[in-house]
Amino acid sequence: MNKSGISRIAYVTLLALFCPGCLACYTTRTVDVVVTERKSGLPLADSAINVGYNAKIYVPLLNKPSGDSGKTDRNGAVALRIADFDWGQIVLYGGEQRDGRSSLETLLEPRIIHEGGVLDTEGYLVRLTPRPRWPTIANCIEYVRMAVNPDHDKASAMAK
């Protein structure tokens, strides 16, 4: 073995010793989240909603997605950047604190980030609607309407 081959082996060995971990593959997209109380149907207004990630592997994950947070509007709607992270858990939480825990706490599957859907959690209904990656003509028209008329209800516009 020549000198350059030995230095390559030493480099790879040092890299493996000092940089243990894995890399996850995922995409991130904007998802419109609407939270309503299950019994009354009232929106969860002016409440902080967060998304976080818990890795389920025992080696460090070098590129775990960063969480996102936002505050719901009067219709219970908030837009969050969510990754379709399948190396662990995607946790959506928020609402008022009860006994040190959020009143809304649910796990999301990567599939719902792409397809959308409604989750029936303990006390809340959570509707997730992924935004398209590329703008469509209908979306462009709707965003122009929202820009021209600031009182336009975003949550009802996205529900159409």
CATH of the domain at 147: 2.60.40
Query: Does 13 fall in a domain?
Result: no
Query: Does 76 fall in a domain?
Result: yes
Residue 58: band (very low, low, confident or very high) from pLDDT cuts 50, 70, 90: low
**pLDDT in the model for residue 3:** 57
Contacts of residue 123, Cβ cutoff 8 Å, sequence gap at least 6: 37, 38, 39, 103, 104
Mean pLDDT of the region 105-132: 92
Task: Provide the mean pLDDT of the chain.
Answer: 81
Whether pLDDT at 6 is above 50? yes
The more confidently predicted of residues 19 and 57 is: 57
Residue 37: band (very low, low, confident or very high) from pLDDT cuts 50, 70, 90: very high
Query: Does 11 fall in a domain?
Result: no
How many domains would you assign to the chain? 1
Query: Does 8 fall in a domain?
Result: no
- Domain hosting 96: range is 28-159
Q: Which residue from 155, 94, 89, 96 is spatially nearest to 128, judged by alpha carbons?
A: 155
